[in-house]
A = this chain, B = another copy of it.
Amino acid sequence: MTTTKPLSDLTIAQQAKTLPIKEIAAKIGLQEDDLDLYGKYKAKLSYDVLDRVKTKQDGKLVLVTAINPTPAGEGKSTVTVGLGQALNQLNKQAIVCLREPSLGPTMGLKGGAAGGGFSQVLPMEDINLHFTGDMHAITSAHNTISAMIDNHLHQGNDLGIDVRRIVWKRVLDLNDRALRHVTVGLGGAAHGVPREEGFDITVASEIMAILCLADSLKDLEDRIKRIVVAYDHQQEPITAEQIGAAGAATLLLKEAFKPNLVQTIEQTPALVHGGPFANIAHGCNSLIATKTALKLGEYVVTEAGFGADLGAEKFCHIKSRVGELNPDAVVLVATVRALKMHGGVSKDQLHIENVGAVGKGMKLLAKHIDTMKKLGLPTVVALNRFNSDTEEEIATVLDWCKAHDIRASLSEVWANGGMGGQQLAEAVIDAVESNESKLSPLYELTDSIEQKIKTIAREVYGAADVTFTAKAKKQMLEIQQKGWADLPICMAKTPFSLSDDPSKFGYQQGFTITVRELKPSVGAGFLVALTGNVLTMPGLPKHPAALNMGIDESGKAIGLF
């Protein structure tokens, strides 16, 4: 992207010129009174705003997704931010909608989740640390339910909860593997009822998924009430409402539910709100942020987690269903490096030109374009440029797109901000204005659970078949008996492959997906189908990023990426 040693994201961010958030708000028609300020550069939108804009016409919705991620990196968030900036340069009032990052990966190794280079959201230190406290509010709400469950056991267990069947783990917003499997309630009768327990990272909490799918505070509370936290000895579900914790949890979330307004490095308004896992949840920023942005901007650019097989599929079948959304265009991010990896090149050979491998990798890109077409959505390919890319490699991608009548453009937004995304923005505007989009879900909610999963596996992944373990079959039956079968499916599959085998890069055919387990998220409103081990509490690496962090003499952050 640059030929000299690039500046770090933190350095670029700290040198950037930011406007007071009041001025950013003014760009989209909001007054200071509409904001709850969090310092000078962050604000939450008041509930008054959300009510007031409801009758306005919606802007255009652009969904940014990607090919299956690789260790080479795709830069999906960076393209999302850069595209927003580019649209603004073309005089389309654009708003960027992103997920908010979790502290766990920040302290681990992931790097910031606020874009990169000259396409970041700011203030990046705040966004990557506590931001406006949403994660902490979710942690508190979640663990209040946990404390109420264990208190219920301790005080006599009137509901007859089976301590072996409590399905509500605790959460912390940290990478902390030692908390994955714990026992609690030890130390004698004064200290609770002993039982097996575990901690997930906060973004894996069903509360996070709920916050991102609720369309009002009332709906938020209703969904929390429906959360199944345990089963009794007759295997009947016990809900958060029965535990008496739904009201307190909602109260703890009343500020967190308000969307957060920040700005990009080019002062494009950005709503950064909510960030559920993209495997056991649906992986998109909050519905309320997206819907509010659609009322306030001409163009809303948003992203979904992982690749198009997971994030975009769930955006269409879960978030869009609940929120009655219809993306006007999809941007599919790819890089030459990632295409080469999907074409069979190992990570240490990526710097060597390999046009053949790029061509081979294109089959995967083509598959995702085809899936978007099935869903009724026009696709623009964004080739996110790295400085090791050769002209011929780039041409391989762009020429293929041209030959197949697919809109495509280079993206140089990391190095050049919005200026590096002008052509991409023009292609996106063309796609949107062509009015080609009409979202048509691939399955109906009334299809059987088995049918819904098979449809996703065949149509989206290209699988030949799906097998269900005995456990999964039993669980499907139970879910049906409890009346939850009509919920949409949330697939938990490796993001690295179309198949359920993370080692199988690139385009795959003829494979079978194995569904090992089903987990109803009744509050969030979907059925999670697990195809492999999903780690819902990450660990820290041998040399965690936290080792380098600190403050300088003036109190500024250091070592934060």
**A-side interface size class:** 35 or more
Q: Shortest beta-carbon distance, A135 to chain B, in Å?
A: 8
**Residue of B with least CB distance to A542:** B155
Do A551 and B251 touch (CB < 8 A)? Answer: yes
Question: Which B residues are CB-close (under 8 A) to A313?
Answer: none
Closest to A187 in B: B181
Distance in Å from the Cβ of A50 to the closest Cβ of chain B?
A: 10
A356 at the interface (CB under 8 A from B): no
* A158-180 contact mask (Cβ, 8 Å, vs B): 1 or 0: 00000000000000111111111
A398 CB, min distance to chain B CBs, angstroms: 43
**Are A247 and B155 closer than 8 Å at their CB atoms?**
no
A454 to chain B, nearest CB (A): 32
A150 partner residues in chain B, CB cutoff 8 A: 176-178
Closest CB of chain B to A228's CB: distance in Å? Answer: 19
CA distance A190 to B250 in the complex (A): 36
Q: Which residue from B218, B245, B248, B548 sits with its C-beta under 8 Å from A247?
A: B548
Contact flag A539-B182 (CB < 8 Å), given A247-B559, A557-B254: no
Q: Does A544 contact B (CB under 8 A)?
A: yes
Determine whether the beta carbon of B174 is less than 8 Å from that of A140.
Answer: yes
- Are B178 and A251 interface neighbours, CB within 8 A? no
| Cα A186 to Cα B557 with chains together (Å) | 35
Residues of B near A146 (CB, < 8 A) are: 176
CB pair B155–A178 under 8 Å, yes or no, is: no
Q: Tell me which residues across on chain B come within 8 A of A130, comparing CB atoms.
A: 133, 136-137, 140, 252, 255
> Which residues of A, 162-220, contact B by the 8 Å Cβ criterion?
172-187, 190-193, 197, 217-218
Interface positions, chain A 83-111, Cβ under 8 Å from B, are 103, 107
Hey, which chain B residues are within 8 Å of A548, CB to CB?
Answer: 247
B177 touches A540 (CB 8 A): no
0/1 per residue, A374-394, Cβ < 8 Å to B? 000000000000000000000
Query: How many angstroms between the C-alpha atoms of A39 and B185 in the bound complex?
Result: 39
A561 near B: Cβ within 8 Å? Answer: no
Q: How far is the CA of A173 from the CA of B182 in the complex (A)?
A: 19
> What residues on B are CB-neighbors of A547 within 8 Å?
244, 247-248
Chain B residues with CB under 8 A of A549: 247-248, 251
CB–CB B191/A187 < 8 A: no
- For A19-45 the 0/1 string (1 means CB < 8 A from B) is 000000000000000001111100010
Query: What CA separation (Å) do A250 and B556 show in the bound complex?
Result: 11
* Chain A, 522-561, CB within 8 A of any chain B CB: 539-540, 542, 544, 546-551, 553, 555, 557-560
Residue ranges of A at the interface with B (Cβ–Cβ < 8 Å): 36-40, 44, 47, 103, 107, 129-130, 133, 136-137, 139-140, 143-144, 146-148, 150-151, 153-155, 172-187, 190-193, 197, 217-218, 221, 244-248, 250-252, 254-255, 539-540, 542, 544, 546-551, 553, 555, 557-560
